């Protein structure tokens, strides 16, 4: 077992998996673009079906011309705390691909799975670098599709806000109580030998 952050795993793992977490209190400082690009660089090295690399990260840094528009891509709950983040990212995946040796675009069977792996790498690199990446399902899909003029073969997977950990007293009381490193289901509930036991 491994203990860090303050979480304890059942089996020994690298601390980075326990150290990554999703706070909502951010300092609101600017993030250098070169720093942000290191997070996408980590995501770039994720594995994908046929190495098709279907992930796309469309981003805005705070204090840039894109910031307010991207903040409007979050639902009102997430805007409440996300406004103090340093970057907002919309994660897309390309839903079609041409298999090696072909030119015809066909449905990509694992575009979401692959994009999920890449986001995981991004989040771990952010955490290793002293930042935090917080995934967001609460985003405005129709608005994003329209304003980013997304072609039909690009799926909107999720949003991500990135920031430096701030003081939790900056959050409303209800969110202060949720500003904790969450536990996990037991390993035996998710890793099952042989067959699913619902």
Contact segment (CB under 6 A) with ligand FMN among 43-51, 99-107, 132-140, 145-153 equals 132-140
The residue whose Cβ lies closest to ligand FMN is 135
Question: How far is 16 from 19, CA to CA, in rounded Å?
Answer: 5
Residue 93 φ/ψ, nearest 5 degrees: -140, 145
Considering only 135, 166, 171, 179, the residue that binds ligand FMN (CB under 6 A) is 135
Burial status of residue 136 (CB atoms within 10 A of its CB: 0-12, 13-18, 19 or more): buried
Question: How far is 52 from 28, CA to CA, in rounded Å?
Answer: 35
DSSP state for residue 98 in the 8-state scheme = P
Q: Please tell me whether residue 120 binds ligand FMN under the rule CB under 6 A.
A: no
Give the nearest distance from C-beta 137 to ligand FMN in angstroms: 4
Other Cβ atoms less than 10 A from the Cβ of 135: the count is 18
Q: Please tell me whether residue 166 binds ligand FMN under the rule CB under 6 A.
A: no
Question: How far is 191 from 86, CA to CA, in rounded Å?
Answer: 36
For ligand FMN, the closer of residues 37 and 180 by Cβ is 180
For ligand FMN, the closer of residues 137 and 194 by Cβ is 137
Q: Please tell me whether residue 78 binds ligand FMN under the rule CB under 6 A.
A: yes
Q: Please tell me whether residue 138 binds ligand FMN under the rule CB under 6 A.
A: yes
Contact set for ligand FMN, span 15-44 (CB under 6 A): 21-22
Structure tokens belonging to residue 181: 């490193």
Residues binding ligand FMN (CB under 6 A): 21-22, 78, 134-138, 158, 182
């Amino acid at each position: 077992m491994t203990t860090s952050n303050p979480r304890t795993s059942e089996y020994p793992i690298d601390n980075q998996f326990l150290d990554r977490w999703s706070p909502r209190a951010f300092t609101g400082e600017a993030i250098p673009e070169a720093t942000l690009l290191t997070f996408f660089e980590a995501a770039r090295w994720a594995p994908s079906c046929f190495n098709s690399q279907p992930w796309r990260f469309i981003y805005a840094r705070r204090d840039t011309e894109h910031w307010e528009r991207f903040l409007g891509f979050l639902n009102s709950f997430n805007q409440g705390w996300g406004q103090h983040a340093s970057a907002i990212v919309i994660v897309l995946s390309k839903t079609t691909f041409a298999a090696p040796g072909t030119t015809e675009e066909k449905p990509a069977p694992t575009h979401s799975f692959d994009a999920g792996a890449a986001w995981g790498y991004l989040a771990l690199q952010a955490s290793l670098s002293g930042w935090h990446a917080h995934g967001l399902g609460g985003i405005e899909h129709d608005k994003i599709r329209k304003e980013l003029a997304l072609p039909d073969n690009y799926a909107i997977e999720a949003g991500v806000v990135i920031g430096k950990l701030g003081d939790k007293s900056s959050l409303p009381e209800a969110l202060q109580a949720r500003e904790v490193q969450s536990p996990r289901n037991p390993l035996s509930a998710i890793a099952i030998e042989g067959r699913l036991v619902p």
